[in-house]
Structure 1
């Protein structure tokens, strides 16, 4: 079904169904280090809005950047040059909606970080469920060096990932950090040589796609919502996500496949 999205004409994105049910979304502005301009933000809102409305469209999404130089360098400051306050605020609100659209993605969203992820580009990565990166990647929140601060979730995602003290150092200094540090701190899950990150992400997405799709979506919902609550409330949210799986055909198929010693054939019902 993802061919519906892949067939659409996109100005700043490349959208491809790499395999049935696996969607690869590429930020496609390599001449600008895949920096976020207004059309790119609007297209990400449209794409992820469609996925939120129809979660059956795919099993997993991979977000990456074109070329080997950058995943995303953040907002395109050339576009912002000369913007008055009203236009700047209007564009930033659009970027806020873009980040919320990524967070609302109902299926697993994997970042395949092919190069530098700075400022809003790092926020894009942190809005994904998890990330793989090339071992030459660099990361930074550079906003304070430009008179602003992270405004796409960076001050919230980063402390939750690595702790407040380290996050404050990164955000207050604006200094870059390495892929090895990102791995050590748990910001990315795995590193690989340049040119291999998309294949690594696809292998994981393929494994995800072999599991029951409704169960994956419910598990993601339980994790995301539960992290915003205390433990007891989170456990209750988990149970509320669990019980709708009991009457599904996939739940019955999973048990039957185990007892019949064969791979399950999940249908998403």
Structure 2
């Protein structure tokens, strides 16, 4: 990994913990370069027996991962390379989440700021998430763009919470505060903003210091989840809506109204709801 050059990530290793800082200005949008670099760094760590825990954090205190790059609507072949690497039956976004979920190390998200759409799916795919009480927020905002989630949210959320709560998140399209996300089971727990770093540092180092084989045994012992049928249903629903005129109009309208700018992303749900369809 020392020879790899990342432009969207910073990677630091210490005492068995790899800390990956996401830095994709202006709002950490989940574009192809960021997805590719996260995949590369995870792959490079797969066989690194000295690294036992991977912590993801953001360089931007307001945005963890905004969502999938809406501007890719004009680049239909942008994900071709990622699609070629995806396991059969998974689209590139689902494969991205599963690649994280299958990582042998323990993966922890330190969530300060907002994670929407594909960013929220990334959070749900990680082993654990701890969030800042005042600054963190989560949203599956795809319905406000005329589509449904296509990167695993329907499956990940359904395994973490009741059907009603999952539908509330997916169809309600609201930004969910950290305390509600904890209560619903979306994340492990919330902490006061000033305590988040210290808690995650202590937990990650405690896990990294466990005897050899304990992490692998614990992850292997967890009940396996075969989500393939659910992923197919999710993909079919997402593609069917993405092909309708409303989705294109809302996505283009959202970009024109300020989505993917710092000001627009602070109140993205309001921006999208203001569009005339």
Partner residue, 1:152: 151
Higher relative contact order (CA 8 A, sep 6+): 2
How far did 1:228 drift?
Answer: 4.8
Following TM superposition, by how much is the alpha carbon of 1:131 offset from its aligned partner in structure 2, in angstroms?
0.6
Q: Deviations over 1:1-58 (max 9, x none)?
A: xxxx3663211111111x22100011111x3321111111111111112223x04140
Corresponding residue for 1:253? none
2:172 equivalent in structure 1: 173
For 1:40-59, list aligned pairs within 5 A. Answer: 40-52=34-46, 54-59=47-52
Per the alignment, residue 33 of structure 1 pairs with: 27
Equivalent position of 1:266 in the other structure: none
Find the counterpart in structure 2 of residue 62 from structure 1.
55
Q: Is the 8 A contact 2:124 2:187 kept in 1?
A: no
Distance 2:217 2:137 in 1: 33
> Aligned pair 1:76/2:69, yes or no?
yes
- Any conservation in 1 of the 2:130–2:196 contact (CA below 8 Å)? yes
Structure 1 residue runs of 5 or longer lacking an equivalent are 230-269
- Which one has a bigger Cα radius of gyration? 1
| Aligned partners of 2:39 and 2:96 also within 8 Å | yes
Deviating beyond 6 angstroms after TM superposition, the runs of 4 or more aligned structure 1 residues are 88-92
- Farther off after superposition, 207-216 or 152-161: 207-216
Q: Provide the C-alpha distance between the structure 2 equivalents of 1:90 and 1:66, rounded to a whole number of angstroms.
A: 27
User: Would the alpha carbon gap of residues 9 and 224 (structure 1) be closer, same or farther in structure 2, given more than 3 Å must change?
Assistant: farther
Contact between 1:141 and 1:170, CA under 8 Å: does it hold in 2? Answer: yes
Whether 2:98 is the aligned partner of 1:105: answer no
Name the TM-score, length of structure 2 as normaliser: 0.73
The gaps in structure 2 that reach 5 residues or longer are 84-90, 228-277
Name the structure 2 match of 1:122.
Answer: 120
- Between the aligned partners of 2:195 and 2:59, the Cα distance in structure 1 is 13
Q: Specify which of 1, 8, 15 is matched with residue 11 of structure 2.
A: 15
- Would you say how many aligned residue pairs link Structure 1 and Structure 2? 219
Per-residue deviation, residues 240-269 of structure 1 (Å, max 9, x unmatched):
xxxxxxxxxxxxxxxxxxxxxxxxxxxxxx
Matching residue of 1:132? 130
Q: Report the CA distance shift for 1:172/1:27 in structure 2 as closer, same or farther (over 3 A).
A: same
Is the Cα contact below 8 Å between 1:55 and 1:106 reproduced in 2? Answer: no
The alignment partner of 2:74 has SS state of coil
Supply the distance in 1 between the matched residues of 2:11 and 2:108 (Cα, whole angstroms): 14
1:87 deviates by 4.2
Secondary structure at the aligned position of 1:124 is classed as helix
Q: What is the CA distance between 1:141 and its match in structure 2?
A: 0.2
